[in-house]
Structure 1
Amino acid sequence: MALIQCGFYSDILSLSVSMNVIVPQALAMNAGGTGWENGGRRLPVLYLLHGLSDDHSTWLRRTSIERYAEERGVAVVMPEVHRSFYSDIGKHRQYWTFVSKELPSIAEALFPVATDRSGRFVAGLSMGGYGAFKLALRLPERYASAASLSGALDFAGIGAFMGDEAQEVFGDRPAAGSDNDLFALAERLARGAADKEALPAFYQCCGTEDFLYDDNRRFLDHVRKLGLSLTYEEGPGTHAWDYWDAHIRKVLDWLPLEKANRPI
């Protein structure tokens, strides 16, 4: 197993940023050990997003994601986006553009990870759950599956715990119906889809004692009415790492990894 702690310059953000990348080393190399360029494979990749108070290192420090990824043969890319809610905030804080365009391009150039939709997945917790669903809802042609763990999915809930910071992140633009509104994005996706079976699959979970539980139930009811494919789980749990460590394993088992290995 290879763990790469990667610093690089972002042209979009105009600053140096960090990401951690997990690569199942034995699968990336071919049997003769001659490297990725000769008979290696592009691995299925999970873009794993952090929460509001976390960074690119927190999934590694608080869970056993490295071991889980190795067991399942999936690469994991964990970027840092600060408290951005995966949104564009002014000229030099365009985190949506960074995570949706620049980050995948850099990861695919540096590491043997999937460049096609069938091998590309996204997941996250809390703010990262919001980011994961936002990516799949706005870019369904790029992601086969998306998972939210205790996601901040409803603007009502986001405003409640962010306060004035929500206006700083999302600006004065009306939230309802915008490209930052997951409810509106889900509705647009469902209405514009000729074949809902070809859309990304969604996984959502939340603990029943989580302060975002009601928000998650509202989003679940909305998506079910729209007829989108969503696997939902709930049970005892708070907004805490023991819950997320257990459920990221469920997410990895849910992903269609057997369909995702591709030759380079």
Structure 2
Amino acid sequence: MLRVGVIGHGAIAQYLAAALPGIGAELVLAITRPGRGEVAKNALGPNVRTAEALGLARPDVVVDCAGHEGLRQHGADILRAGVPLITVSIGALSDDALHQELTKAAQVGRTALHLSTGAIGGLDALASARVGSLQSVTYTGRKPPAGWKGSPAEEVLDLDALTAEAATHFEGSARDAAAQYPKNANVAAAVAIAGVGFDNTRVSLIADPNVHANIHEIHATGDFGELTFTISGKTLPGNARTSALAAMSVVKMVAGQNAAIGF
């Protein structure tokens, strides 16, 4: 049976823990912040072992569900230990120093950092198109105003007052989006890595009172032709901040560790 570890104990980690028995895997370790072990057990199950680092426990794969800081703190150590790491915190890779550190750690450990596709699809086509020449890639993220609460959008817009017209609160590069919106721009970062990079991927983030889902759109042009991909994503029940597809993509990637054939 595949032995799985997680960094964090939030909504995605809980979704993964519930799904593991159905894919022939078990949760054996939760890496937590100091003093959060009991909280993690309450969230993930009383039998899970908790620790503040990888330590002596050695799962077959670890999943980072703890945001950018979790990847910064634990990612390199896990990779150097030779344990494959799956992350949803793709925006953290906009930091070149961290990107290089994780790359070197994976090379030392002879393993890999796997990037979860998260709340977006179409990245396989975008990455294939990069083999030729990509002229432009844009990403547009559109959410209801409440979906941007707790983000820098509140410094630009009165989100509660948006009742009729959509308003753009960020336009710029994927690198700037990832830096300014660390909890909201992992999709933009995934698009950037699959396509033309953080500095050449253009991003627009929009608060729209006329939508009731998180809408992600990629548009790309290149030697291959033209691509437009749009997904209207639901959030996890009871957690308006977490994409259901992001949680599902993590389960799919863990299941792939056991698969003889698969995508």
Q: TM-score, normalised by structure 2?
A: 0.36
TM-score between both structures, scaled by the size of structure 1 = 0.36
Relative to its length, the structure with more strand (as a share) is: 2
In terms of Rg, which structure is larger? Answer: 2
